[in-house]
Amino acid sequence: METLMEEEEYNWREVKLPSLIPVVPEPEMERETGERRRGRDILIAVDHGPNSKHAFDWALVHLARIADTIHLIHAVSSLKNGLVYEAAQGLMEKLSVEAFEVAMVKTLARIVEGDAGKAICKEAERLKPAAVVMGTRVYCREVSVSIASTTVKQHP
């Protein structure tokens, strides 16, 4: 079985987060080895839904540690649509402030254009995070579970 490589344009924009968040100092040195302690990278896919917020809150409480870096990713239909971009940027800013207040972690945010599932996979491949966290949505009628807008359908 061969892996099929998908060549697709990948557009994204970094989000400049609020400056009121203090810079988290570099990790200190390990006593035994003398090596620098490094936190983990945790990728959290977010959108404006309640399940996304619940997943974000869960990650802060159960996963995040002080030296970690939270990477927020949000997929939009077009980066050129100012209204959509501003709403996504506002969400990222709000979540980054909350991440610092709750878990004292550094946050980086990226808004990507296109399919959420593909964007999450590309970011996970780029970052190689310790964990990928995302909410789910369940639809009625057919049993369909959508994970960050990527749908897997189960037919009888």
Residue 12 is predicted with a pLDDT of 74
Domain 37-154 falls under CATH 3.40.50.620 = yes
Residue 2 is predicted with a pLDDT of 53
Exposure letters 55-73 (e unless 16+ CB within 10 A, then b): bbeebbeebbeebbbbbbb
Per-residue pLDDT tens digits of the chain, which is 156 residues long: 554 455 566 677 777 776 655 554 555 555 565 554 578 999 999 999 999 999 999 999 999 998 899 999 999 988 888 898 899 999 999 999 999 999 999 999 999 999 999 999 999 999 999 999 998 865 544 444 444 444 444 444
Residue 16 is predicted with a pLDDT of 78
Q: Where are the beta strands (DSSP E) in 3-130?
A: 12-14, 41-45, 69-76, 106-113
Residue 71 is predicted with a pLDDT of 96
The tokens for 8 are: 């697709």
The tokens for 78 are: 């077009």
The answer to whether the CB of 100 falls within 8 A of the CB of 18 is: no
CB neighbourhood size of 87 (10 A): 14
What's the CA gap between 15 and 94, in Å, rounded? 12
What's the CA gap between 12 and 88, in Å, rounded? 12
**pTM to 2 decimals?**
0.72
Q: Where are the beta strands (DSSP E) in 9-124?
A: 12-14, 41-45, 69-76, 106-113
Phi, psi of 119 (to 5 degrees): -65, -40
The answer to whether the CB of 42 falls within 8 A of the CB of 71 is: yes
Query: Hey, what amino acid is at 98?
Result: E
